Structure 1
Amino acid sequence: MAFHEVRFPTNLSFGAIGGPERRTEIVALASGYEERNTPWAHARRRYDAGMGLRSLNDLSALISFFEARAGQLHGFRWKDWSDHKSCVPSQSPAFHDQEIARGDGQMTQFQIVKNYVSGAFSYARPIAKIVKDSVRAGIGGVEVFLGTDFEVNNRTGIITFTRPVPVGAEITVGFEFDVPVRFDTDRIAVSVASFQAGEVPQIPVIEVRL
């Protein structure tokens, strides 16, 4: 399988339904208590691409995209409109949005992550598919600049600074990102008459591990 660095049409993904899925294994004990565990370190996202279709032209664009990916064979980028920035959706990314690491005086490369925080608990989600030219970064609370102080691999989410980050310095980033996905079906079944009558085909899309 190859991954195509192309984004699913954003006007079609805008109306899609979907979000993160977790897998939790629950064992009920004889005492009535439960033991809960998960084999997944990270959530996996699912979407329905069919929900964003509003016209026959949209349907045609979807079929063209589906055929170019050979169904489930090739992955692609997907914009999750509810979660595609390092900040809240109503704001623009800033260099201090997410702390990704602390400098040790030797390393220059770091994985970009997004932190989900609730109370005293948090989850760090690795982000691979960065939107080109969207990254802002800071070291020790001071903004540094793309092309001069750092470079970003938009396919892997690795940020590389031109010199080692000083010991203890906070590394922060702001960015926009896509979700790596593939179609979760090799078949699109749609009737034009039914579509015009308001019946929307189901086109499942699922996140892929990289």
Structure 2
Amino acid sequence: MSFHETRFPTALSFGAQGGPERRTEIVTLSNGWEERNSPWSQSRRRYDAGLGLRSLDDLHALLAFWEARMGQLHGFRWKDWADHKSCAPSVLPGPLDQEIGTGDGTTRAFQLRKAYASGGVTHWRTIRKPVAGTVRVAVAGQESTGWTLDPATGLVTFATAPAAGAAITAGFEFDVPVRFDADAIRVQVSTFQAGEVPSVPVIEVRA
């Protein structure tokens, strides 16, 4: 899969509809009970970047982005305005936000991830597209600078392996890896200064 490490213009994605979806297989037995199973370990996100009445310059920016991605061919980064931080949207990421591993004295590389907890159940989401410059990391509760980040994979690599038993935590902003989900864009120019694109479907890809 070809992926472009560039973000869809955030001014155009703001206000987009969308969110996570899951695939659940449900079999109803003859006694009325159900058997439920999901073949997906992670949810998959869909969005619609359709633009209401916007300036022709906005439409021009959308078309330029679309053409550069060659429609559905190349993936890109997308900012999910409702879920793009290791913490609540109203606060800044901190180095203690998310536990990403425990030191063993040997391992130097740790994958960024985010926990979704409710009712005593925690789901971990792997974060592969962090926003460079926003990541903060701590070892045993103390913020550290002795590490490097691969922003294309979300892998944090320490210069020296953290000590055994040390909690590795991190805070960050992140994007969703997506692609366009249609091979056509329908633009309507409403006036000499404005136009609209009713639907621009976008879907998450496994990156």
Q: Smaller-chain TM-score range? A: over 0.9
Q: CA deviation at 1:193?
A: 2.7
- Picking from 132, 140, 155, the partner of 1:158 is 155
CA contact (8 A) 1:47 1:205 kept: yes
Q: 1:64 corresponds to which letter in structure 2?
A: A
CA contact (8 A) 2:51 2:196 kept: no
**CA gap 1:193/1:8 in 2 versus in 1, 3 angstroms:** same
CA contact (8 A) 2:53 2:194 kept: no
Q: Gapped runs of 5+ residues in structure 1?
A: none
Secondary structure of the 2:54 match is coil
User: Residues 21-48 of structure 1, C-alpha deviation per residue, up to 9 Å, x if partnerless?
Assistant: 1110001011111111000010100000
**CA gap 1:74/1:199 in 2 versus in 1, 3 angstroms:** closer
CA contact (8 A) 1:51 1:202 kept: yes
- Give the structure 1 partner of residue 100 of structure 2: 100
Q: 1:185 aligned to 2:195?
A: no
- Give the structure 1 partner of residue 35 of structure 2: 35
Task: Give the root-mean-square deviation of aligned CA atoms.
Answer: 1.8
Distance 1:160 1:193 in 2: 51
| TM-score normalised to structure 1 length | 0.94
Q: 2:117 corresponds to which letter in structure 1?
A: V
Q: 1:104 corresponds to which letter in structure 2?
A: D
Distance 1:144 1:65 in 2: 37
Secondary structure of the 1:54 match is strand
- Give the structure 1 partner of residue 131 of structure 2: 131
Deviates more, 1:110-119 or 1:46-55: 46-55
- Give the structure 2 partner of residue 62 of structure 1: 62
Q: CA deviation at 1:66?
A: 0.3
Secondary structure of the 1:206 match is strand
Distance 1:182 1:53 in 2: 23
Secondary structure of the 1:131 match is coil
Q: Gapped runs of 5+ residues in structure 2?
A: none
Aligned residue-pair number: 207
Secondary structure of the 1:94 match is coil
Distance 1:197 1:92 in 2: 36
**CA gap 1:135/1:162 in 2 versus in 1, 3 angstroms:** same
CA contact (8 A) 2:52 2:196 kept: no
Distance 1:30 1:10 in 2: 50
Q: CA deviation at 1:51?
A: 4.0
**CA gap 1:193/1:53 in 2 versus in 1, 3 angstroms:** closer
CA contact (8 A) 1:14 1:52 kept: no
- Give the structure 2 partner of residue 82 of structure 1: 82
Q: CA deviation at 1:197?
A: 9.0
CA contact (8 A) 1:16 1:52 kept: no
Distance 2:140 2:52 in 1: 42
Q: 2:14 corresponds to which letter in structure 1?
A: F
> Percent of pairs identical after alignment?
61
**Matches of residues 196-207 of structure 1 in structure 2 within 5 Å?**
200-207=197-204
Q: CA deviation at 1:150?
A: 0.5
CA contact (8 A) 1:29 1:35 kept: yes
Structure number having the greater strand percentage: 2
Q: 1:37 corresponds to which letter in structure 2?
A: N
